Amino acid sequence: MEAVKTPVTQYEGAAREGLRGLIKRWFDGISQSHERGEKVAYAFVIPSAFELLRSFDIQVIALPEVQALQCAVKKVGQQYLTRAEEMGYSLDVCGYVKIDAAMLEMGGEHPLGQIPPPDLVICPTLCNTYIKWAEIWEDKFNVPTLLLDQPSRIINADKYWGSSDFEMDRRYMMSQMEDLIEACERITGRRFDPDKLAYYEDQWNQVSDLWMEIREFNKRIPAVFDSFEDGLYYMGGVQACRGSGEAIPFMHAIKQELEERVALGIYPVKEERFRMFIDLAPCWSKLRSFIGLFKKWDVLFVYGTYMSMLVEPEFRYDTRRPLESLAESLLYFTTPGSTMNLFSNRLGQTIDLCKEYTVDGVVLHAIKSCRAISGGIVDEREYLQRAGIPTLFLDSDLVDARYFSEAQMRNRVDAFFESLERKKFYGGR
């Protein structure tokens, strides 16, 4: 079997340039919010009722995970981690939390701007660390903190939707939406407008459709973009401008760029020798080094777990009933059938995605300071191997470079791809 050869590997279109401007405007908006008299919400990348916040003209939404990983990418994360540990945070605490806590202790200093205090905190319960993290903000800033307590069921969406359990959970989520509306009305002095909520939900529906079209490009052989070097940045940009009016043009720009790449025969690697799936995020503070481990083998990451977290393929808001649909979305994301739920049915989803994207193997990256999401990853490796999917296990951290051993990782990567090379191109000899 021969590698898929492609003629050109260098291309940067409107999407990359647009992303730079988009991220800058987002951070500028956060930094200048209080000067402009705008309200600031702290929320999380896991769905946090963004559309409802936008409907109250809360246009400044700070995302602490994105802010923390940007610190790591900008090579200042380590000083924040050290400061947090001096403050008493354990080595085992989530690196994102430590960077954020230290940054706020130091007056909100961020390499891309100044992070102001929040007027409101929104905290979903899909990650147990979020709850303790939100308590830090509540204690420090004494601001309203709303928990979105999302019931998690062990049955798939097809059996759950419309059941008596679903109706009970929906009523529970609706009561929480009413609490959130009351808090937003009190903070902003505005009345809830269901038409505005429907407008922002429709915006997100359009983004969702475009994202699903973009994902399809990597089912092609050769694939059109790298889920590391492109996909994760696409996701970050869209999350940053979710509901702002910039998301739809940005997604159109991405799609147009990918169409141009196909038309011009421009692909991410010269020879697509290995199509890989990656489970979980890279070590952001060593992103270039992490990616470099795979470059010599002409690896293309055609898909990854985090690519599923932006959009739920099977769910769109019903804009005829905007508030009820928002409550239902928060329930849908906790069902095992949801691709956003990384805590259940992950194995089945991974195998299905490996088939859809014609992958040669899976890279599992265990994250030391995120045990909630890395728990069971060794069992996942065994499960995938029994399913006949070659699997490479790596471990480091999201942001802490002290746990990134490049030499050890390189040895593992090289040994894995030497074996996979023999299997794929030389019939296992």
- Which tens digits make up the pLDDT trace of 364-400? 998 888 877 777 788 888 889 899 999 999 999 999 9
Domains and CATH numbers, the chain: 32-192+269-425 (3.40.50.11900)
Q: What is the pLDDT of residues 20-53, one digit of tens each?
A: 788 888 888 888 888 888 999 999 887 789 999 9
CA 335: distance to chain centroid? 18
CB 147, CB 131: distance < 8 Å: yes
> Long-range contacts for 179-184 (Cβ within 8 Å, ≥24 apart)?
179/146, 180/49, 180/52, 180/122, 180/146, 180/148, 181/52, 183/120, 183/144, 183/146, 184/52, 184/53, 184/56, 184/58, 184/120
- Spans of the chain below 50 pLDDT: 7-9, 343, 429
**113-114 and 109-110: which strand pairing?**
antiparallel
Q: What is the rounded distance in angstroms from the CA atom of residue 182 to the CA atom of residue 191?
A: 9
Alpha-carbon dihedral 212, 127, 287, 110, rounded to 10 degrees: 110
Q: CA-CA distance, 333 to 160, in Å (whole number)? A: 12
Q: What mean pLDDT is reported for the chain?
A: 87
SS3 217: helix
Question: What's residue 8's pLDDT?
Answer: 46
What Cα–Cα distance (Å) separates residue 56 from each residue in 49, 123, 164, 191? 12, 18, 32, 8
